[in-house]
Amino acid sequence: MNTPFRFLIVLIFMLSPVTQADEWRYTVRPGDTLIGFSQRHLLNPADWVKLHRHNALANPHYLVPGQTLRIPLSLLKQKPAPAELVAVSGQVRAAMPGEEFRQARIGELLATGAELHTAENSSAKLRFADGSTLVLQPSSRLQLDTLSVYEGGGMVDTRMRLQQGRSEIHTNPRRDTGTRMQVITPSAVAAVRGTRFRVAAEPQATREETLEGEVALAATGRQVGVAAGYGSVAAAGQPPAEPVALLETPDLRHLPARIDRLPMVFDLVEQANAVHWTGQIARDAGFNEILLEQFSHKPRLVFGDLPDGSYVLRVAASDANGLLGLDAVHAFELHARPFPPLLLYPAQDAVIRTARPEIRWSEALGVSRYHVELALDSEFREKVLDQVLTERAWPLAQALNPGAYFLRAASIANGRQGPYSDVVRFIYKPAPSAPDLGQPTMTFGANTLEINLPAPPQGLHYEAELAADQDRKQILWHGESADGRLDMPRPDSGRRYLSVRLVEADGTFGPYSTQGIDVPRQTHPEILLFLLPLLAL
């Protein structure tokens, strides 16, 4: 059976007098005596004798100010030092030993044995007795093992178990002496000489990224130093990998300062060696409350809904080792409400034939008015019309000139105008006019009729009908012509009606022009030749 590996991250500060032998180093102050110190700080005041021997003091009754006393932690008094939950965002559940999980509350104190779970797009921030903070990232689980302050506040002992997920830790910001912290996860041991770092616990590996200071990462008897800007991976049962430089901060300078569309889309700049991007949104640059989190294998992050307001985006890229690089932040304003209406007519890139079209849009809930603009350019510098309306239709009173137009609309609710809709471009192109038939030339053959009209304008062709009546109910012939020539069978003699209209390539047609044609009676020369001998008689 495989023995599960455990990853013990021990945070030991350069400014702390705690040693690896579980000792507290105390600097003697004026007036201190060994017996007095023992009465204040030791579980058993009589253990001053043990301190005497442990420190090899020449005179137990005389302590020199500035002298260092080494006190085994096992001798010290200690009292509980619960962690305070200073920030909660989203679904965060907490449970004390033997109790059911419940929704965590800001300001509550979590004692030894408490557990904290965060859901997706959720986070929690803990503050410990020495001022250290831990932000539990989304989809993570943490258990508090030891939360103690040794007598006199000289040392804070904090131990916790990161069972799953990620955390970002800022340790001992006040640089207090006598402080230690341990984070236990499944895989190795790290001794920290820095103040800010990340830890990610996964079933088969633990990843550590140092943001400030230095971390000594150890597993299976091997230790590596991880300086600021570097990271290392400790796989289960294996020594930690040699540290590698974290990916540089992403360039977010091109991102917009104002977002007026949902979902929120952030297109990022490609980064060398980046295989994955992580983005988080919070209300403040400290990211005490993470509201949304997204991962992407492409340099594009898409976030869902948030109320309008001010936010901060944090982005970091991961390398092939899964190490999260240095992060960059970008402040932005979300102004997506009230939502704009959907423009219904004209459609995008439509060609309309009416000079006074009726512009229509959908109803936006909770909206009292609509701001509609029509312009000759997509930037709306050359506005043709600009109206605030309560209806959802706008019949134009002013006839449009032929050409391209740009249309947009915004909703107004409670005196506040929201963002404009996507711009719709359309073209007004009048339908072809009735053709001028002029004086067509007609050539009657024995069995054919050829009519020649003026050549149609470029891009147009003729559609023609020959009818026995002016209302075109008795169609004798139907045809088309691209050059103006109409060839048809010769109709019977009498009054006939030729109707012609112009048609565009897309099938748009204009009105008919109709002209009457008198078809002469056809003579038969062969009959006259037959009758001539009879006339001679």
Half-sphere exposure in the Cβ direction for 98 (13 Å, CA): 2
SS3 of 126-139: the string is: EECCCCCEEEECCC
44 and 164 fall within a common domain: yes
274 and 355 fall within a common domain: no
In one-letter notation, the amino acid at residue 270 is E
pLDDT(205) > 50: yes
Pairing mode, strands 328-334 and 258-259: parallel
Final residue belonging to a domain, choices 192, 212, 245: 245
Half-sphere exposure in the Cβ direction for 23 (13 Å, CA): 14
Q: How far is CA 240 from CA 112, 182, 207, 342, in A?
A: 30, 18, 9, 56
In one-letter notation, the amino acid at residue 163 is Q
415 and 476 fall within a common domain: no
What average pLDDT does the structure give for the chain? 89
Using alpha carbons only, how large is the chain's radius of gyration in Å? Answer: 43
For residue 525, the model assigns a pLDDT of: 53
Nearest to 324 by CA among 502, 183, 189, 202: 202
For residue 277, the model assigns a pLDDT of: 98
280 and 222 fall within a common domain: no
pLDDT(127) > 50: yes
Note whether residue 73 is domain-resident. Answer: yes
For residue 152, the model assigns a pLDDT of: 60
Q: Which residue has the tokens 């809709």?
A: 421
Note whether residue 433 is domain-resident. Answer: no
Name the DSSP letter for residue 509: B
61 and 19 fall within a common domain: yes
Q: What are phi and psi of 105, to 5 degrees?
A: -125, 140
For residue 156, the model assigns a pLDDT of: 81
Q: What is the CATH number of the domain that holds 455?
A: 2.60.40.10
Structural domain count, the chain? 4
61 and 198 fall within a common domain: yes
**Tens digits of residue pLDDT in 328-360:** 999 999 999 999 999 999 999 999 999 999 999
Q: Which domain holds residue 473?
A: 441-519
**Tens digits of residue pLDDT in 435-489:** 988 778 899 998 999 999 999 999 999 999 999 999 999 999 999 999 999 999 9
**Tens digits of residue pLDDT in 415-435:** 999 999 999 999 999 999 889
**Tens digits of residue pLDDT in 36-51:** 999 989 999 999 999 9
317 and 466 fall within a common domain: no
Which residues touch 98 (CB under 8 Å, ≥6 apart)? Answer: none
pTM score, whole prediction: 0.76
Q: What is the CATH number of the domain that holds 329?
A: 2.60.40
119 and 218 fall within a common domain: yes
Q: What is the CATH number of the domain that holds 39?
A: 2.60.120.1440
Q: Which two tokens stand for residue 367?
A: 């909206």
For residue 24, the model assigns a pLDDT of: 80
For residue 358, the model assigns a pLDDT of: 97
Q: What is the spatial distance between Cα 67 and Cα 85, in angstroms, rounded to a whole number?
A: 38
Handedness of CA 319, 325, 330, 334 (dihedral sign): positive
The torsion defined by the Cα of 59, 60, 65 and 67, in degrees rounded to 10, comes to: 90
Q: How far is CA 122 from CA 117, 125, 172, 315, 507, in A?
A: 9, 11, 25, 17, 57
Residue 60 — pLDDT band, cuts 50, 70, 90? confident
Q: What is the spatial distance between Cα 78 and Cα 42, in angstroms, rounded to a whole number?
A: 9
Note whether residue 95 is domain-resident. Answer: no
In the three-class reduction of DSSP (H, G, I as helix; E, B as strand; rest coil), residue 531 is classed as helix
For residue 396, the model assigns a pLDDT of: 95
Percent of the chain with pLDDT over 90: 70
Q: How far is CA 59 from CA 28, 34, 251, in A?
A: 14, 10, 64
Note whether residue 314 is domain-resident. Answer: yes
